[in-house]
Structure 1
């Protein structure tokens, strides 16, 4: 439970009890990232459901506001930073690292964040109209399995958060969350694309910037969340087509 609270403090802006944590406990809290995703998903789906009582578009907007608010735009920040770094990827590694370390957001980052928010808003609107609240609740859960896989698989780009988490991830925890994902996919089959998305993002960051970092984790979560929302929309449309 301590690890879950630490993960909740790190990934959200929700009020939590104060807990003392050393470096090892902080690293092990990564085991709970997908569980935190369930909490985020429940709040997002609840906002969508409540807003939908007035209008589906209002439900989508409420869900997006809660999504950004509860996470403190943490992953959007990573998406912006990685977009800027990708723009410098044709140069040397030192330049890429310098852009990642720069706290300012460039034009690539601004465009990436705006497009991400628009994409989520449109997809949320379609899901609210389809009443796909259960699937929406599970999207943040599935996306947060990604960081566990990337930390286990990829070399850390630098000695930051990704490097601290790396030692805490092993095959047992990956198998446990894989089993949870398979179970969730029984009710929401669209989640079955998650492994392909996780592996695809890992391959991309390794090829583009050479490893994984905190920004790579945040950007990956955002990209996978949007891709899963799209998969849910396609699945819902297919169901209505039958």
Structure 2
């Protein structure tokens, strides 16, 4: 096994970054990829930071810069965390305290109104934070 195989497994699981395909994996290999998760997170953050830096240097309007950085942020993760957040929101509200109902909702690939609302509010909050951060860097 290549020494970088666990890194490739982590990269393919957590991101949409162009990471070499490790091929089929065994559960034990997936477990050995966990220590590489922070490295993948740093790479994803570096890509978003690079995009932000270029946009600030190009004097892009804060709204546009925030939207583009957010787009890269969501793309690089494949919306993995947003999907989990959506499932959790639907299950929490729709489960009504029933473990079975909660698990059934989390297995359903469709998103309900709670999921959509939570995702929109989360992305809006991230966009606003990026926009304010961009203004701060420009001295406005």
Band the TM-score falls in, shorter-chain normalisation: 0.7 to 0.9
The equivalent residue for 1:10 is 13
**Where in structure 2 are the equivalents of 1:31-180 lying within 5 Å?**
31-52=35-56, 53=58, 54-131=60-137
CA positional deviation for 1:103: 0.8
Cα distance in structure 2, aligned partners of 1:39 and 1:84: 31
* Cα RMSD, aligned residues only: 1.8
Question: Equivalent of 2:32, from 24, 28, 32?
Answer: 28
Larger Rg: 2
Per-residue CA deviations over 1:41-93 (Å, capped at 9, x if unaligned) read 01111111222222222221111010111111111111111000110343311
Runs of 4 or more, structure 1, over 6 Å off, are: none
Alignment size in residue pairs: 133
**TM-score, normalised to structure 2's length?**
0.87
* Offset, 1:119: 0.4
Report if aligned partners of 2:95, 2:105 keep a CA contact under 8 Å in 1. no
Deviation at 1:19, TM superposition (A): 1.7
Aligned pairs (5 A) from 1:175-214: none
Checking the alignment, whether the CA contact within 8 Å between 1:4 and 1:29 is kept in structure 2 is yes
Tell me the alpha carbon deviations over residues 178-215 of structure 1, each in whole angstroms, 9 at most, x when there is no partner: xxxxxxxxxxxxxxxxxxxxxxxxxxxxxxxxxxxxxx
- Whose RCO is larger (CA < 8 A, sep 6+)? 1
TM-score, structure 1 as length reference: 0.52
Which consecutive unaligned segments of at least 5 residues does structure 1 have? 133-239
2:63 and 2:41 map into 1 onto residues whose CA distance is: 24
**CA distance in 2 between partners of 1:57 and 1:18 (Å):** 36
Q: Tell me, in whole angstroms, the C-alpha distance in 2 between the residues paired with 1:50 and 1:62.
A: 11
What displacement does 1:130 show?
2.3
Unaligned runs of 5+ in 2: none
Q: 8 Å contact 2:12–2:21 — kept in the other structure? A: no
